[in-house]
Amino acid sequence: MSDFVCSTTVGEMIDAFGLQVLCIPENGRDILIHTSDLNRPGMQFVSDYYEHFDAKRIQVIGRQEVSYLHTASDERIRTIADLLFAQEIPAMIVSRNLEIPETFIEHARNSGIPLLRSEKSTSDLIGELMPWLRLALAPQITRHGVLVEVYGEGILILGESGIGKSETAIELLKRGHRLVADDAVEIKKVSAISLVGSAPDIIRHFVELRGIGIVDVQHIFGMGAVKDTEKIDLIIHVESWTAETEYDRLGDANETTEILGIKIPSIRVPVRPGRNLAVIVEVAAMNHRQRKMGYNAMDELNERLNKSMNL
């Protein structure tokens, strides 16, 4: 299991959004981006105010900022560029494919600041770039397990090697559900309450079955049997059944498993020969979905018992 904070680079952002490069230093694609927050430096353009300026943010300029540059003198443009690029910002993006003064481009080039351009409007660019950065920079952990989507619920199956997690995933695929990751699940904290899982690129859509080998799920079961990412709604801990262990039989334990500081509802499922784990996962997914919608079978049973005792 590994735990780390993800990072991304200017080069990855350029490739992801198809940005045009107006100028970039030799190692500019390797410049690290440390925050998902963006900034429009309009105030800095007109007032040279940098007291609370966050130099870690990517700067985005649109029609207003570019129009101001076109009305400014070359001397004023040089002053704006000198002050702004002295902050060592990671990059600046011009929206709407707008043309900017050559003086500004030259100062960006001389300062070693990547200057990029997008065809998107300013609002669309910011609206797409911020979630992408938030996901790319999210804290991440890798867990040994299987992640599947069952009836719309993201189910993370954890357990020791050889207990049958991959076999369960194959059975679920045959039943029409979808595989997200097998063996290694990369889990990202995308918000204060949400975890999203995916597979490492190199093993995406592959499953290892002991005695058979590597299985390409996408080719065998089709595109509808796989999914690249999925929110984790429920964690199922699979363990070998022992007579000495007491397991929850009523569903009132309300256990959780904490990953990256977020507590996810979880259950423990004992397995032994003859027990159909795929069916159990399906029922667990449906039961969890019912609970999220406000229905609890244990509460219903208690209500019936209370009514029968009051007769």
* Active site positions, annotated: 144, 165, 183, 249
Helices then strands, counting H and E runs in the chain, come out as 10, 18
User: How far, in Å, CA of 302 to CA of 24, rounded?
Assistant: 68
- CB-based contact 33:6 (threshold 8 Å): no
115 Cβ neighbours under 8 A, 6+ residues apart: 21, 22, 23, 24, 91, 92, 94, 104, 105, 108, 109
User: How far, in Å, CA of 240 to CA of 273, rounded?
Assistant: 10
- CB-based contact 44:80 (threshold 8 Å): yes
Burial of 17 (0-12, 13-18, 19+ CB in 10 A): middle
- CB-based contact 154:232 (threshold 8 Å): yes
299 Cβ neighbours under 8 A, 6+ residues apart: none
β-pairing, 234-240 vs 262-271, is: parallel
Residues recorded for the chain: 311
Residue 259 DSSP code:
E
CA–centroid distance for 245 within its chain: 36
